[in-house]
Amino acid sequence: MSETVKLVCIMCPMGCPLQLEHEGSELREVTGHDCNRGAKYARQEFTDPRRGLSTTVAIAGARWSRLPVKASRPVRKEQVREAARRIHALRVQAPVRCGQVLLKDLLGEAGLDVVATRSMDRAAKETPASS
Ligand code: SF4
């Protein structure tokens, strides 16, 4: 027996209401989308939902005590909490360059890296990393 799941597409500000008709884990049809991005989003959300993850880590020796970072690609929804926990356990040392990989293969997933999203030079006066 088929069932319907309703989602709002988050790929652009239009927010199209999507309906996903499925039988168990098999997706039959997506309707309500105004473009292919919406259909792709619906399929992804149904089969392998993922979320972007941006946060900060402690940095020592820089002017600031926290460095903004992000996961290089979306993280499986059910693993976001564990991913954030592992990222928060990181301690880095200045200088750091924007785009620098700080941790490779997060959660054992090849190519899922933690990268700096800004550069931080070494400060003239050392600042201890905050936790
Ligand atoms: S389906 Fe297309 S037009 Fe509609 S919200 Fe998604 S991206 Fe925007």
21 and 4 Cβ atoms separated by less than 8 Å: yes
- 57, burial (CB in 10 Å: exposed 0-12, middle 13-18, buried 19+): buried
Q: Kindly give the distance from the C-alpha atom of residue 77 to the centroid of ligand 1, in angstroms, as a whole number.
A: 21
| Residue 36: inside a domain | yes
Q: Are 65 and 42 contained in the same domain?
A: no
Q: Stretch 14-32: mean pLDDT, rounded? A: 97
Q: Are 58 and 42 contained in the same domain?
A: no
Q: Are 37 and 58 contained in the same domain?
A: no
Statement: residue 50 has pLDDT above 90: yes
* Pocket residue to mutate for ligand 1, from 7, 11, 20, most atoms within 8 A of Cβ: 11
Among candidate residues 2, 3, 9, the one with its CA nearest the CA of residue 36: 9
Q: Are 34 and 66 contained in the same domain?
A: no
16 and 38 Cβ atoms separated by less than 8 Å: yes
Q: Are 37 and 73 contained in the same domain?
A: no
| Residue 128: inside a domain | no
Q: Are 74 and 108 contained in the same domain?
A: yes
Q: What is the DSSP-derived secondary structure letter of residue 110?
A: T
| Residue 125: inside a domain | no
- List the domain range (segments joined by +) for residue 42: 3-47
**Position in ligand 1 atom list of the atom nearest CA 15:** 5
Q: Are 7 and 31 contained in the same domain?
A: yes
Give the count of domains, the chain: 2
Mean pLDDT across the chain, nearest whole number? Answer: 94
Q: Kindly give the distance from the C-alpha atom of residue 38 to the centroid of ligand 1, in angstroms, as a whole number.
A: 5
User: Which residue's alpha carbon is at the smallest distance from atom 1 of ligand 1?
Assistant: 38
Give the model's pLDDT for residue 128.
62
Q: Are 94 and 66 contained in the same domain?
A: yes
| Residue 65: inside a domain | yes
Percent of the chain with pLDDT over 90: 93
Give the model's pLDDT for residue 1.
84
Q: Are 95 and 41 contained in the same domain?
A: no
If you count them, how many residues does the chain have? 131
Q: Are 62 and 111 contained in the same domain?
A: yes
Residues whose beta carbon lies within 6 Å of some atom of ligand 1:
9, 11-12, 14-16, 33-35, 37-38
CA dihedral 30, 36, 41, 46 (to 10 degrees): 30
